[in-house]
Structure 1
Amino acid sequence: MRFKDKSIIVTGAGSGIGRATALLFAREGGKVVVADKTDGADATAKLITDAGGTAVAIQMDAGLEEDVIRTVDLAVESFGGLDIIFANAGISGGMANIFDTDVALITEVLRVNLVGPYLAIKHAAPKIAERGGGAIVLTASVAGIRSGAGSPAYSASKAGVINLAKTSAQQLSGSNVRVNAICPGLTETGMTKPTFDYAREAGKMDRVGRLNPLRRGAQPEELAEVAAFLASDAASYVNGQAIAVDGGLSSSHPVTKQEYGRTAV
C-alpha cells in the first residue's frame, strides 16, 4: 500500500502504460484521477472502482493549459489535494523523416509530448508542494536519448522531456517535489499495436525487440512498476533523473554483437 490515501493524477490513462500505472496506483491505495483525451478514461476508472479502488475520470487534452488546470482542480476538489502526477500522455507523430515532416505535425507532437509535461509541472507542482512534497513522473522515451528509436519530431519531443525533468527538478529546489522521467523502449501499447499485431500474424514475434539484450518488447505493466517506484517514497532520494526501461537497448552503441557461446557478425 505504497500510495495509501495519496491523491494522484495519471494522464494518458485510457490505455497502455497510463492505464497499467493507474491500476497499480489504485491497487496500492491511491486515489486516482484518470485523465485521457478519449473515453478510455472512463473505462480505466471503471476497472479501478470495480476492483474496490477509488477513481474519477476526466476527458482532457494534456497539451491544453485550461484542461490541465481543470484536471489538477479535480484532484484537489475530489481528494483534498495532490501528491503525485504521472504526465504520461503522448502521441507518436508517425515515422516521417525531417524533410517529409510537415511543420503542423511537429508542432502538434511538441504540443502534446513536451508542452503537456511542462503544463503538468507548472500547475501540479505548487499543489504538491502545499502537501509537503511528492513526486512528478514524466514519460520520455529511449528515442529522446539517441537516434534510431523514433521520428525526428517524436525524438526531439522526448529529448525535451528528459531535459525538462532535470531543469524542473532544479527549479523546484527546496520544495520537496521530485521530478523524474522514465524512458520506455519498445512497449506493447496502442501506439505500437500495429507492430505487435503484424509480428504475431506473421509468426515473427522473435524479431520484436531483438536489438536489445533481453530480445523482447516490454509489457505496459513493466513500465508501470518503474513509474510507481519513482512516484513512491522508496525513491525519496531520486530526483532529476531519466531512467531507461528498454531491456538494455540504450546501454550500447552499434557494435558487432557477442552472442552467448559464439561471435555474431
Structure 2
Amino acid sequence: MNMRFEGKSIIVTGAGSGIGRATAMQFAREGGRVICADLTEGADATAAMIGDAATPLRMDAGREEDVVRAVDLAIGRHGRLDVMFANAGISGGLANIFDTSVDLITEVLRINVIGPFLALKHAAPRIVEAGGGAIVLTASVAGLRSGAGSPAYSASKAGVISLAQLGAQQLAGSNVRVNAVCPGLTETGMTQMIYDGARAAGKGDRLGRLNPLRRGADPEELAEVITFLASDAASYVNGQAIVVDGGLSSSHPFNRQEFGKTAT
C-alpha cells in the first residue's frame, strides 16, 4: 500500500457518506489522520469504519464558527494541518430558475460556495504554517455548463471552480495548491433517490447512459482522483478543475427544458 499521507493531518467535510466517506477512508488507508466532519451522524459512522486514525466532528460546513472549530480540532489533535478536502454540499432539488425561491438558492450557495470559501480562508494559513500542502474542493460537471444540474446547484458549483482558481493565485509562493474536482453522476447520498428510483423501475442500466462509459461512478473512483490531487504526486497541478465524469462533458448532451414547458 502506498503511504502517501503518512503522518499527514487532513480534514474532510461531507465525510458522512458518498465521495467524502470514500475519500476519508482512502486517506486513512494511506497513513493519514483524518477529521471526519459532517452535519449528520454519518461523521461518527465513517470515523468508526476507519478506527483510531479518524476523529468525528459534527459541523455545518457553511458556518464560519464550525469551520474554525474543525481547523482547531485538527491542530489540537495532530499539531498541524496538511490537507483540506472541502466536499460538503447539497443539491438544491430540480426546480428551474423561475420556480427557485430566493431562500433555496441562498441555502445552496451558503453550503456549496461559502463552505469552500471558509475552508480556504481558515485552512490555508494553517497549511502554510505546516510548510505547504493541498486544498481540494468538490465542484461538479454542472459547474462547467448548463444541462447537468439545477440552476442553484449549477451556479454554486461554477463558483467553486472559480474559488479554486482564485485560491491558487492568492496562495502564490506559499507551497499550498488548490484544485477542484468535478464529478459526473456518482452514487452518493445526494443521488441515492435517483439510483433507487431507476432500479425500482427496472431501469438501473440506464443510469449514466449519456456518457461514453455508459455508467455512473463509484465514490471510490472519485476518491482516487481526489487523493492524487492532495498528494505530492500532483505537485505541479494547481488552480485546475479536474473533470471525472466518464466523458460526459466532452459533449454534455441533455434534454433541453423549454420555457413554459415541463422537462421530460
Q: Matches of 2:252 and 2:205 in 1, distance apart?
A: 22
Q: Matches of 1:244 and 1:102 in 2, distance apart?
A: 29
Aligned to 2:251: 252
After superposition, what is the alpha-carbon deviation per residue over 1:89-123, rounded to whole angstroms, capped at 9, x for unaligned?
A: 00001010111101010000000000000000000
Task: Flag as ranges the 4+ runs of structure 1 deviating above 4 A.
Answer: none
Q: CA deviation at 1:203?
A: 1.7
Q: CA deviation at 1:252?
A: 1.8
Secondary structure at the aligned position of 2:152 is classed as: helix
Q: Which residue among 45, 48, 55 is the counterpart of 2:47?
A: 45
Q: Which amino acid aligns with 2:216?
A: G
Distance 1:190 1:254, change over 3 A: closer
Q: Which amino acid aligns with 2:22?
A: A
- Report 1:219-230 matches (<5 A): 219-230=218-229
Aligned to 1:243: 242
Q: Matches of 1:218 and 1:199 in 2, distance apart?
A: 15
Secondary structure at the aligned position of 2:23 is classed as: helix
Q: Which amino acid aligns with 1:11?
A: T
Q: Matches of 2:49 and 2:193 in 1, distance apart?
A: 25
Q: Matches of 2:12 and 2:66 in 1, distance apart?
A: 13
Q: CA deviation at 1:253?
A: 5.0
Secondary structure at the aligned position of 1:150 is classed as: coil
After superposition, what is the alpha-carbon deviation per residue over 1:23-57, rounded to whole angstroms, capped at 9, x for unaligned?
A: 000000000000000011001000000xxx50111
Q: Matches of 1:68 and 1:177 in 2, distance apart?
A: 19
How many residues are paired up? Answer: 252
TM-score normalised over the length of structure 1 = 0.94
Q: Which amino acid aligns with 1:146?
A: R
After superposition, what is the alpha-carbon deviation per residue over 1:108-165, rounded to whole angstroms, capped at 9, x for unaligned?
A: 0000000000000000000000011000000000000011111000000000000110
Moved more, 197-206 or 145-154: 197-206
Q: Matches of 1:207 and 1:46 in 2, distance apart?
A: 34
Q: Matches of 2:167 and 2:137 in 1, distance apart?
A: 11
Q: Matches of 1:198 and 1:112 in 2, distance apart?
A: 26
- Check whether the contact 2:147–2:253 (CA below 8 A) recurs between aligned residues: no
Structure 2 residue 12 is the aligned partner of structure 1 residue 13: no
Gaps of at least 5 residues in structure 1 are 256-265
Q: Matches of 1:233 and 1:251 in 2, distance apart?
A: 28
Aligned to 1:35: 37
Q: Which amino acid aligns with 1:135?
A: A
TM-score normalised over the length of structure 2 = 0.94
Secondary structure at the aligned position of 1:85 is classed as: strand
What is the alpha-carbon root mean square deviation over aligned residues? 1.0
Aligned to 2:197: 198
Aligned to 2:65: 66
Q: Which amino acid aligns with 1:43?
A: A
Distance 1:101 1:2, change over 3 A: same
- Check whether the contact 2:141–2:245 (CA below 8 A) recurs between aligned residues: yes
Q: CA deviation at 1:254?
A: 4.2
Q: Which amino acid aligns with 2:228?
A: F
Percent identity between matched residues is: 77
